[in-house]
Amino acid sequence: QKEVEQDPGPLSVPEGAIVSLNCTYSNSAFQYFMWYRQYSRKGPELLMYTYSSGNKEDGRFTAQVDKSSKYISLFIRDSQPSDSATYLCAMMGNNDMRFGAGTRLTVKP
Amino acid sequence: KAGVTQTPRYLIKTRGQQVTLSCSPISGHRSVSWYQQTPGQGLQFLFEYFSETQRNKGNFPGRFSGRQFSNSRSEMNVSTLELGDSALYLCASSLQGANTDTQYFGPGTRLTVL
């Protein structure tokens, strides 16, 4: 079993849709949870950062962490064509950092 | 303010050689982290330096090493290159560390090992 599991997609949605991206993990030592967005041929961009369990909202983006279920989510509301990118989850703890495989999202106008 | 810069942007080496990559963080940032990205393995954490000290290290062989200078610039070295080392090498800088909400990635160095 991989340390972090993320559905690679691809995921295609119409503009305005709500997008749900998810990751599961196995290492209970992870305490810091991040979501990155990566456009083609670019470096990743940190989108959301959460420490421990809970929700965090930033504009159209909401990150949720459920440590008891070892499950994290990123929701994108009112998705836009400019949201088309690969989204990677990441988690860190006990000097270890792991990434999901990335989900490729396409938002169609 | 200037972003994270990485040099060179592209590099071609042959098996057995060694390579040094450079990363200049955003001014004022004291943490530099390095990552390897490949189509097969995805994004993997190599190591993190903070104020010239290695703070965290991923699961990579000892052929991968790094250092950080007093001006926070960092270098990564890979010795005895293997074909599987072909990848995009990314560095990221932040004020306090990779586990914070301020982390900025550079454009990466594309390494090809022939």
* B45 neighbourhood in chain A, CB within 8 Å: 96-99
Residues A13-49 pLDDT 10s: 999 999 999 999 999 999 999 999 999 989 999 999 9
Q: Do A44 and B105 touch (CB under 8 A)?
A: yes
Asked if residue A10 has a cis previous peptide bond (ω within 30° of 0), the answer is yes
A93: amino acid identity, one letter: G
Model confidence pLDDT, tens digit, residues B72-95:
999 999 999 999 999 999 999 998
Q: Does residue A8 carry a pLDDT above 80?
A: no
In this structure, how many other beta carbons lie within 10 angstroms of the beta carbon of residue A16?
Answer: 11
Asked if the C-beta of B44 comes within 8 angstroms of chain A's C-beta atoms, the answer is yes
Residue B7: helix, strand or coil by DSSP?
strand
- Residue B65 above 80 pLDDT? yes
Of B45, B90, B101, Cβ closest to residue A97: B45
Which residues of chain B are within 8 Å of residue A40 when distances are taken between CB atoms? none
A45 contacts: CB under 8 Å, gap ≥ 6: A36, A37, A38, A39, B105
pLDDT in tens, B100-111: 778 899 999 999
- Sign of the C-alpha dihedral, residues B94, B96, B100, B101? negative
